[in-house]
Amino acid sequence: MKKALALTLACLIALLALAGCGSKKKDWDYIKDKGRLKIGITYFQPMNYKDDNGELTGFETEFAKAVCEELGVKAEFQEIKWESKELELKSKKIDCIWNGLTITDERKENMDISIPYMQNKQVMVVRKADVEKYSTAEGVKGAKVVAEAGSAGEDVAKEDEFFKGASYTALDAQAKALLEVKAGTSDIAVIDYVMSKGTIREGTDYADLAVIESKSFAEEQYGIAFRKDSPKTLEKVNAAIQAVKASGKLDEIASKYNLNDLIIVK
């Protein structure tokens, strides 16, 4: 009886040890063994959005697929709530955040981030008739300002002195911020310049909106975020980014979405 009990305990210990080894698998090995990279995104043009046929497309979509091809894994896209992105990453619901993520010192403390691949800034989008009105801090007083929760745009709207006299409301997507301004329920959307280039032009649903070109905020760079302590993953991904650039594929994709002048990969 004692021998049987001892054998059972030994087996349980061995199984726990094996489970522990599996849970501590290095991040790149975890991704490679799955054969896919699960990418956390939100939908906004021109980065990740559905085309007229309902297919996912956009600059980030094509860029991610090209990098994953270099890595030898499949790109798998998962919609997330932007304000919950770091929790999604830590819990392994996704393997990376690849969706116009601004590189900041705080984020670098909590996540491993790739080499920067694109420059960006925050801009104000208003109805065309209101461009002059909201071009100054005095004009912004009393305005209704919206931005995506957890975004660089939200940081600007809440912290920049320019918006001191305005009221701010957080939304769960940049696209919703544009819709609010278009509908007249808000006055100013603070969004990525990259997004404005892909959505606000003649022939689009937002042709009646405009960027206030005389004022911009928070010059920044985009990177891809991975779980903390993923050096091998970063090494592989950075090399793949540079390979896609060297092949001319990155510039080809960027040109398709009118973003070629913002690429900063050497």
The tokens describing 153, both together, are 């745009």
| Distance in angstroms (rounded) separating the CA atoms of residues 35 and 138 | 54
What 8-state DSSP symbol labels residue 48?
B
| Distance in angstroms (rounded) separating the CA atoms of residues 197 and 44 | 11
| Distance in angstroms (rounded) separating the CA atoms of residues 22 and 7 | 23
Q: Give the residue, 108 or 2, on which the prediction is more confident.
A: 108
| Distance in angstroms (rounded) separating the CA atoms of residues 244 and 41 | 21
Q: Where are the alpha helices (DSSP H) in 149-248?
A: 152-159, 174-183, 193-199, 231-246
192 within 8 A of 152, measured Cβ to Cβ: yes
| Distance in angstroms (rounded) separating the CA atoms of residues 172 and 179 | 12
For 105-137, give one letter per residue: b (16+ CB within 10 A) or e. Answer: eebeeebbbbbbbbebbbbbbbbeebbeebbee
Q: Give the residue, 200 or 238, on which the prediction is more confident.
A: 238
- CATH no., domain 120-220: 3.40.190.10
Residue 224 three-state SS: strand
Task: Supply the pLDDT for residue 213.
Answer: 94
Per-residue pLDDT, averaged over 82-108, amounts to: 95
190 within 8 A of 156, measured Cβ to Cβ: yes
The pTM (predicted TM-score) of the whole model is: 0.77
Per-residue pLDDT, averaged over 25-39, amounts to: 94
CB neighbour list of residue 114: distance below 8 Å, 6 or more residues apart: 223, 224, 225, 226, 234, 237, 238, 241
What residues does each domain of the chain span?
A: 26-119+221-262, 120-220
Residue 77 has pLDDT above 50, yes or no: yes
For residue 37, give the nearest of 59, 60, 16 by alpha carbon. Answer: 60
Residue-wise pLDDT for 114-155, tens only, equals 999 999 999 999 999 999 999 999 999 999 999 999 999 999
Q: Give the residue, 12 or 54, on which the prediction is more confident.
A: 54
Q: Tell me which amino acid residue 263 is.
A: I
Residue-wise pLDDT for 213-239, tens only, equals 999 999 999 999 999 999 999 999 999
Domains 26-119+221-262 and 120-220 share a fold: yes
Task: Supply the pLDDT for residue 4.
Answer: 47
Residue 113 three-state SS: strand
Residue 165 has pLDDT above 70, yes or no: yes
The tokens describing 172, both together, are 């769960």
Per-residue pLDDT, averaged over 158-179, amounts to: 95
Task: Supply the pLDDT for residue 23.
Answer: 46
Per-residue pLDDT, averaged over 31-52, amounts to: 94
Domain 26-119+221-262 belongs in CATH node 3.40.190.10: yes
- Average pLDDT of the chain, as a whole number: 91
Per-residue pLDDT, averaged over 56-74, amounts to: 98
Task: Supply the pLDDT for residue 220.
Answer: 93
Per-residue pLDDT, averaged over 100-125, amounts to: 96
Strands (E), the chain: 36-41, 49-50, 56-57, 74-79, 96-102, 111-113, 118-127, 144-148, 167-171, 188-192, 209-227
Q: Tell me which amino acid residue 191 is.
A: I
182 within 8 A of 175, measured Cβ to Cβ: no
Residue 69 has pLDDT above 70, yes or no: yes
pLDDT band at 45 (very low <50, low <70, confident <90, very high): confident
CA pseudo-torsion sign 81, 87, 93, 94:
positive
